[in-house]
Chains A and B, each alone.
Chain A
């Protein structure tokens, strides 16, 4: 069965326009507050360790996702990060082409569960898995406690 009347004149069909307006402020949370204030104030990247499961989480969280126990053992990540996967972004979030393609990567640290996604400051051709990189931060004093306090990762 279908509708008994159908519009055959397409000009008679209408549409209605509107924006879905919304504005948000997200707290970084109990674990996020500690992670981001540490990054802002000392430049260190902290992870949280679960003794029972022998897992260290990055980004750190207040609970272990495996045993649902609380996490209180926090420690800075050590050594360089390893590039696990890369993508070369030729279009931005709005579908526009940036002047230069951007290199983005999944970054992991030895002995750490999880990792970070961030920009990589290397030419697209050199962006390969296995690359060892370090974070490059905004200068102390201009950091605000946000993931963009890390400008990018570089070899």
Chain B
């Protein structure tokens, strides 16, 4: 397989409500990524689009709706979908477009417009539940996260303040992100613990906000990067993905087995045998604060049940030994589901090419890992990148 690089990134503001239509958000992010790479749409061979369920935007088959804004007209264009895992999965799709030798330069655009959905985007999450077994119980999506968080905390005897510390770290990290929706330099663990209970043990500030937003990346072959004199390409070192059973009540929720399986594939390709030592920083998917801990363990960055201690000891701070979510994450920057690509794979690219500005990790970083989590809460996609 050919070497594949990321050479440009763009994203819109992440906000509760943007005026732009889904198409317009896509174009803004795509234009910015092309500008950053110093390219025009004519340089692009193929386009990959990513978005979570159509029900948020309220446009059925939205991949087809937005394709003109993504430069898809007259090009090989495909939408990929792994629910909430799409943010890291569509760059993987772009990767295989190029690694296979089929295309030299691929534009990836991800988008979500959740404000269209009334009264709250959570209403349409109701439609993902099994109609016979689950829906009669009138579930709110937060239930499943609450149950997973409770199981995780109980099995490892985790203190709630150690979970809340993740929300504090990420919302503070987001202060350096120009697109952030919920950055807060002064937030404390007490603020999170005292916020209203949604579905115990999940409090309001444990949850990332629903957002409108789009992001884009330019992905290309080694030869393309060389002939176009790209200054600081960042390389895909390994990719992986994996999914567990749809019967989510069948598995022990305390550990994301599917993520460990996905990471195994990516680490094999990246020749990583000791993730804790060989990986310099991480952007674990953090729609909820406990999920960052869950994902650190699934990614093998620490032992099972050890992530809360690393957080408490400051290891995961931006200047710590293993910075996690230096972007500010979904908790701080926002959660326009698939568009979180901009703060996951996008942040790896910016950190590894030294373009993260105020958010730049102060010590040298050469290898980063990120994951996203989704489908019916049993899927993970993983990307490892190197400078």
Contacts and interface: CB of A to CB of B under 8 A. Distances in A.
Which of A63, A67, A68 is the most central at the interface, judged by chain B CB atoms within 10 Å of its CB?
A68
A82 B271 CA distance: 63
Nearest to A28: B21
A26 interface: yes
Interface stretch (B65-73, B191-199, B262-270, B307-315): B65-73
A27 interface: yes
A26 B21 contact: yes
A41 interface: no
B31 A70 contact: yes
Interface residues of B, number: 32
B116 A62 contact: no
User: For chain A, which range describes its interface: under 10, 10 to 19, 20 to 34, or 35 or more residues?
Assistant: 20 to 34
B71 A29 contact: no
Nearest to B126: A21
A24 to B, nearest CB: 4
A61 to B, nearest CB: 7
Nearest to A17: B131
A63 B127 contact: no
A16 B129 CA distance: 14
A67 B127 CA distance: 39
Contact of B117 (A24, A27, A66, A70): A24
A24 B58 contact: yes
Contact of B19 (A22, A23, A29, A70): A29
B2 interface: no
A93 B173 CA distance: 50
A29 to B, nearest CB: 3
B31 A29 contact: no
A31 B68 CA distance: 15
Contact of B41 (A20, A21, A33, A67): A67
B23 A29 contact: yes
A32 interface: yes
A22 B55 contact: yes
A26 B30 CA distance: 22
A31 B119 contact: no
Interface string B130-160: 0110010000000000000000000000000
Interface string B40-61: 1110000000000001001000
Nearest to A24: B58
Interface in A60-84: 61-63, 65-68, 70
B212 to A, nearest CB: 9
A99 B73 CA distance: 40
A23 B73 contact: no
B20 interface: yes
B110 to A, nearest CB: 17
A69 to B, nearest CB: 8
Given A25-B116, A63-B69, A68-B31, A30 B19 contact: yes
B73 A65 contact: yes
B19 A65 contact: no
A18 interface: yes
B276 to A, nearest CB: 42
B24 interface: yes
A26 to B, nearest CB: 5
B31 A18 contact: no
B118 interface: yes
Nearest to A26: B116
A13 to B, nearest CB: 13
Shortest Cβ-Cβ A-B pairs, 7 listed = A29-B21, A24-B58, A65-B68, A63-B27, A68-B41, A23-B118, A29-B24
28 contacts: A18-B131, A20-B127, A22-B58, A22-B117, A23-B118, A23-B119, A27-B17, A27-B20, A27-B21, A27-B116, A28-B21, A29-B20, A29-B21, A29-B24, A30-B19, A31-B24, A32-B21, A62-B24, A63-B24, A63-B27, A63-B31, A65-B68, A65-B69, A67-B40, A67-B41, A67-B42, A68-B34, A68-B40
